[in-house]
């Protein structure tokens, strides 16, 4: 069957290169390009779709990277016969993932009877991209999202309940065999609305070599961390501790702040309402200001992007960096090391204990959700089940360093990888971010408070009161009585 290409709409929330890539894929699968398999030239595609050369070039480059087409210099672009042969009888599923290892993972683990058409979006843009796609009626079949967005997307009606598609699998497999912290957070009423693909934990990265040379131990308490930073400062280190500390870092700042609060027995939401442990929160904010006063952290940290602290640690500009367990590849790349050598140089531990708490961590990660607008929700669940099988979870964990969420796999991979052993142990007992539909607005408020405290714009006590009232207004939950 021959299909005519749809026009690409520049006003559409999906980038024009992704729209064009999808159209070309559809035309390839439907035999639009005839027996020789030659595609129009870039100039012809530009003219036909009314596009500049940049999105056309990117669409063709991604199709070539996916193995769909072969590009010959001076001869043109052709459908890859081997790829087309493999697609016979397959069904097509549209998936959106953030930038990272996820596209490769999906291509590797997708069942043989599925063709997965993948759109990759920057993580910072993914939330708005998906919201706009739903509003325009063009949501993908499946998306990989930050797990903390699941309650919001579910409340807005974006996701289909897994129980509607396969109640037995949701009940006996997912809710019984996966990390319970995520299962609970992603269960609305009696139904699961997303599946946690992987997990990561927040903690403190440190340079083992520098600490050893300075005669210091890895800190287990806030006091030990402050003392270690003071020693390093006296030795000439201008920024011993770095952290994402404001809106420029986005969710990374909230992730680290909530881990710090947890290490002092404090949380943003509790059974009695907003900020149930106000004294512990104030104590944590006072500690941040002590770190600034001691030159352990710099005021300009409020301007750091989310990847800057890890780059500074990797290049020797700091000795400690708050971040996630997922940072090892970035540490290795920025330090010019392979991951095995990077793990020998850099250590990772839970956020040191505050005076009112114990060493703690916060768990996060990415979850898979099936959209109500999905054309083939059954195929989307089929893909999810393949991605979270025991074998796929093992391969994912060992290749990316991300913690598997199937409980039986966690101990298996921990025995093979020392970083996974460390981060997996930290996952047990980790807290998770508040599972509320308005979390994104709560997070933005916390990022602003974080920056104001670092810059000394507000006192910890005043920040506590002001933030409690704002979060109460955002969530509709009462302020806990202190």
Q: List pLDDT tens digits, range 265-308.
A: 999 998 889 988 889 999 999 999 999 999 999 999 999 999 99
Domain count, the chain: 3
Within a domain: 47: yes
Q: List pLDDT tens digits, range 23-73.
A: 888 788 777 776 568 899 999 999 888 899 999 999 999 999 888 889 988
Within a domain: 425: no
Q: CATH number of the domain at 72, please.
A: 1.10.10.10
> Is 336 a residue whose pLDDT tops 70?
yes
> Is 351 a residue whose pLDDT tops 90?
yes
Mean pLDDT of the chain: 91
Domain finish residue from 88, 112, 137: 88
Tell whether 265 and 155 lie within a shared domain.
no
Tell whether 343 and 468 lie within a shared domain.
yes
Within a domain: 124: yes
Q: List pLDDT tens digits, range 98-123.
A: 988 999 999 899 988 888 888 888 88
pTM of the entire structure? 0.82
Tell whether 284 and 298 lie within a shared domain.
yes
Within a domain: 421: no
3-state secondary structure string, the chain?
CCCCCCCCCCCCCCCHHHHHHHHHHHHHHCCCCCCCCECCCHHHHHHHHCCCHHHHHHHHHHHHHCCCEEEECCCEEEECHHHHHHCCCCEEEEEEEECCCHHHHHHHHCCCCEEEEEEEECHHHHHHHHHHHHHCCCCCCEEEEEHHHHHHHHHCCCECCHHHHHHHHHHHHHHHHECHHHHHHCEECCEECCEECEEEEEEEEEEHHHHHHCCCCCCCEHHHHHHHHHHHHHCCCCCCEECCCCHHHCHHHHHHHHHHHHCCCCCCEECCEECCCHHHHHHHHHHHHHHHHCCCCCHHHHHCCCCHHHHHHHCCCCCEEEEEHHHHHHHHHHHCCCHHHHHHHEEEECECECCCCCCECEEECEEEEEECCCCCHHHHHHHHHHHCCHHHHHHHHHHHCCEECEHHHHHHHHCCCHHHHHHHHHHCCCEECCCCCCHHHHHHHHHHHHHHHHCCCCCHHHHHHHHHHHHHHHHCCCECCC
Within a domain: 57: yes
Tell whether 293 and 439 lie within a shared domain.
yes
Within a domain: 301: yes
Tell whether 208 and 342 lie within a shared domain.
yes
Q: List pLDDT tens digits, range 212-238.
A: 999 999 999 999 999 999 999 998 998
What is the domain extent for residue 34? 1-88
Tell whether 161 and 206 lie within a shared domain.
no
pLDDT at 241: 97
Q: CATH number of the domain at 454, please.
A: 3.40.190.10
Tell whether 121 and 175 lie within a shared domain.
yes
Tell whether 444 and 297 lie within a shared domain.
yes
């Amino acid at each position: 069957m021959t299909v005519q290409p749809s026009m690409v709409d520049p006003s559409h929330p999906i980038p024009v290169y992704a729209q064009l890539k999808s159209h070309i894929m559809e035309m390839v699968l439907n035999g639009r390009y005839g027996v020789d398999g030659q595609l129009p030239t870039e100039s012809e595609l530009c003219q036909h779709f009314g596009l500049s050369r940049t999105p056309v070039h990117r669409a063709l480059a991604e199709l070539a990277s996916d193995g769909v087409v072969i590009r010959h210099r001076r001869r043109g672009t052709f459908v890859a016969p081997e790829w087309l042969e493999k697609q016979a009888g397959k069904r097509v599923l549209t998936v959106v993932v953030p930038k990272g290892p996820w596209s490769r993972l999906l291509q590797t683990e997708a069942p043989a009877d599925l063709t997965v058409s993948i759109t990759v979006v920057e993580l910072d843009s993914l939330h708005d991209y998906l919201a706009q796609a739903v509003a325009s009626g063009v949501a993908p079949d499946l998306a990989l999202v930050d797990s903390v967005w699941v309650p919001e997307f579910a409340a807005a009606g974006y996701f289909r309940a897994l129980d509607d598609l396969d109640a037995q699998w949701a009940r006996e497999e997912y809710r019984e065999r996966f990390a319970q912290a995520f299962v609970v957070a992603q269960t609305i009423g009696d139904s699961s609305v997303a599946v946690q693909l992987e997990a990561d934990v927040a903690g403190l990265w440190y340079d083992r070599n520098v600490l050893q040379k300075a005669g210091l131990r890895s800190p287990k308490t806030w006091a030990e961390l402050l003392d270690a930073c003071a020693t390093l400062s006296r030795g000439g280190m201008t920024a011993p501790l770095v952290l994402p500390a404001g809106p420029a870092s986005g969710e990374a700042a909230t992730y680290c702040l909530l881990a710090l609060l947890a290490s002092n027995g404090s949380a943003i939401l509790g059974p009695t309402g907003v900020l149930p442990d106000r004294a512990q929160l104030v104590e944590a904010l006072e500690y941040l200001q002590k770190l600034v006063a001691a030159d352990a952290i710099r005021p300009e940290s409020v301007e750091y992007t989310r990847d800057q602290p890890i780059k500074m640690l990797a290049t020797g500009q700091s000795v400690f960096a708050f971040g996630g367990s997922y940072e090892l590849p970035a540490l290795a790349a920025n330090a010019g090391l392979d991951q095995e050598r990077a793990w020998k140089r850099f250590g990772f531990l839970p956020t040191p204990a505050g005076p009112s708490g114990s060493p703690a961590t916060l768990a996060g990660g990415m979850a898979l959700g099936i959209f109500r607008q999905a054309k083939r929700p059954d195929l989307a669940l089929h893909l999810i089940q393949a991605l979270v099988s025991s074998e796929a979870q093992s391969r994912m964990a060992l290749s990316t360093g991300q913690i598997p969420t199937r409980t039986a796999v966690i101990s298996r991979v921990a025995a093979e990888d020392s970083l996974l052993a460390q981060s997996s142990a930290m996952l047990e007992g980790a807290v998770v971010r508040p599972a509320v539909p308005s979390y994104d607005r709560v997070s933005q408020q916390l990022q602003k408070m974080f920056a104001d405290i670092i810059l000394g714009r507000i006192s910890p006590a005043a920040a506590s009161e002001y933030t409690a009232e704002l979060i109460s207004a955002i969530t509709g939950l009462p302020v806990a009585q202190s």
